[in-house]
């Protein structure tokens, strides 16, 4: 107690600016021990606040009537971001008048990696047992993420280019190339294939949406993918090599 009185007596004897300096030092020491003003909370708060609900592309694939009141629906979800996601989806089917309709919410529990497309199959209950009439699809998929980036437009590495054109003895003549990309299975990309003659001149060009298989081979995605082009015997035999480019 006597020591505290002595300290207090000395403190009172200090000048005003000296007292202010002592108080500042004491505050800094207390802050360093107790964590006052620690930036961890603000950092965590910033990280939490940066997470937003992001939408991802959804594409109808097909549907089938299971029974008068039930439809099986297949659709694709594409992760066009740079981080894996486990999205939540709302899927709807109805007829043009809205008389027969159904919807449901689904959680995709298997993570979809960046640049990947995953096909999902679900079942919907259709009102008034009108499953055969419900032919209009709509869907939304979202995920809470801090990812704001995208790899769209990034060119991928192509390898193992081979001539996949029709040869003598085939039914009809067409040209195309087989090749691989350095992407995971089910990665979609936009590809352009140019057929070159022995002088390096471009004698044919086709562009289409591609999709990678398990071994990296790229195949045409969708019914309208022009990965093989109807042609003539003279052109097919004139092809010497291919120039292939693909981008996400």
89 touches 74 (CB < 8 A): no
Q: Compute mean pLDDT per 10 residues along the chain, 248 residues long, and list them.
A: 57 56 59 53 52 94 96 95 95 95 95 92 96 96 93 91 83 92 92 96 96 95 90 94 96
pLDDT at 45: 46
pLDDT at 46: 45
Taking the C-alpha atoms of residue 244 and residue 166, their distance in angstroms, rounded to an integer, is 18
pLDDT at 224: 86
> Which residue's structure tokens are 């989806």?
89
pLDDT at 50: 81
| Nearest one of 77, 58, 57, 61 to 222, comparing CA atoms | 61
82 touches 114 (CB < 8 A): yes
| Nearest one of 128, 134, 185, 195 to 161, comparing CA atoms | 195
């Amino acid at each position: 107690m006597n020591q505290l009185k002595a300290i207090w007596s000395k403190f009172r004897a200090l000048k005003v600016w000296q007292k202010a300096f002592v108080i500042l030092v004491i505050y800094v020491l207390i802050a360093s021990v107790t964590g006052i003003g620690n930036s961890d909370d603000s950092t965590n708060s910033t990280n939490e606040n940066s997470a937003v609900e992001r939408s991802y592309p959804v594409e109808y694939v097909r549907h089938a009537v299971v029974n008068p009141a039930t439809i099986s629906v297949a659709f694709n979800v594409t992760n066009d971001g740079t981080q894996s996601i486990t999205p939540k989806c709302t899927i709807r089917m109805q007829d043009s008048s809205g008389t027969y309709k159904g919807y449901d919410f689904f959680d995709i529990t298997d993570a979809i990696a960046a640049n990947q497309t995953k096909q999902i199959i679900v079942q919907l209950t259709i009102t008034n047992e009108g499953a055969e009439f419900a032919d209009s699809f709509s869907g939304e998929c979202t995920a809470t993420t801090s990812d704001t980036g995208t790899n769209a437009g990034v060119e991928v590495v192509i390898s193992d280019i081979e001539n996949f054109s029709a040869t003598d003895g085939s039914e009809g003549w067409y040209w195309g190339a087989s090749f691989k990309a350095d992407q995971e299975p089910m990665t979609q990309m936009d590809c352009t294939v140019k057929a070159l003659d022995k002088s390096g001149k471009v004698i044919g060009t086709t562009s289409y949406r591609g999709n990678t298989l398990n071994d990296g081979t790229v195949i045409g995605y969708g019914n309208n993918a022009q990965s093989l082009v109807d042609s003539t015997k003279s052109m097919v035999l004139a092809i010497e090599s291919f120039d292939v480019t693909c981008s996400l």
